[in-house]
Each structure stands twice: as C-alpha cells, then as structure tokens.
Amino acid sequence: MQNENLVLLFSARDNAYSIIDHNLTEDEAKTSVSGLRKQGLPAFRMEQRSPHFLTDAGGCCACAKDIGASCLGETARRR
C-alpha cells in the first residue's frame, strides 16, 4: 500500500513551512510540486506517516507533525 503524500513550501528567509495540500497520491504530489516549481516556488513533497482526517490542509496539525513542526496555528501566533 502506498503512503499519502503532502506538498509544502519552505521559505528559508522566514524558516517557515506552508502546507499546500495533503492526502495526495505520489503522482498527484509530484505533479503539484513540479507545477509550483515552474512558478519559482520552493515546493517539496513528503510522505505522510498516516492519512490525515482534516480536508483543509492549511489548518491540519497532522501535516505539521509529519514535517516535524508544531501546529502551524500556534507557530504563526508565537512569532
């Protein structure tokens, strides 16, 4: 069985991640990443440890955990 994939942008200047999408197949994620890179965006694909239940990737704490960050809502507020 194939793991789900998430797509994220990494901003080296802010040292911050933004989640673009999650629960994608590997092929969907690769397509998404190459589309974003064509626009000059620093996009990456990562394998998820498990499927995520939230439909909104932007507020998904499981995404944050998979990329080794604390929940994005908290991070944004603390800075």
Q: Using CB under 5 A as the criterion, which residues of the chain lie in contact with Zn ion when the complex forms?
A: 22, 52, 60, 62-63
Whichever of 7 and 60 has its CB closer to Zn ion, that residue is 60
Q: Minimum Å distance from CB 22 to Zn ion? A: 4
If you write DSSP's letter for every residue of 16-50 in order, what string do you get?
A: EEEEEEEEE-HHHHHHHHHHHHHTT--EEEEE-SS
Q: Minimum Å distance from CB 10 to Zn ion? A: 16
Whichever of 40 and 63 has its CB closer to Zn ion, that residue is 63
For the chain, helix, strand, coil in percent to 5 are 35, 25, 35
Whichever of 17 and 36 has its CB closer to Zn ion, that residue is 17
Q: Minimum Å distance from CB 32 to Zn ion? A: 14
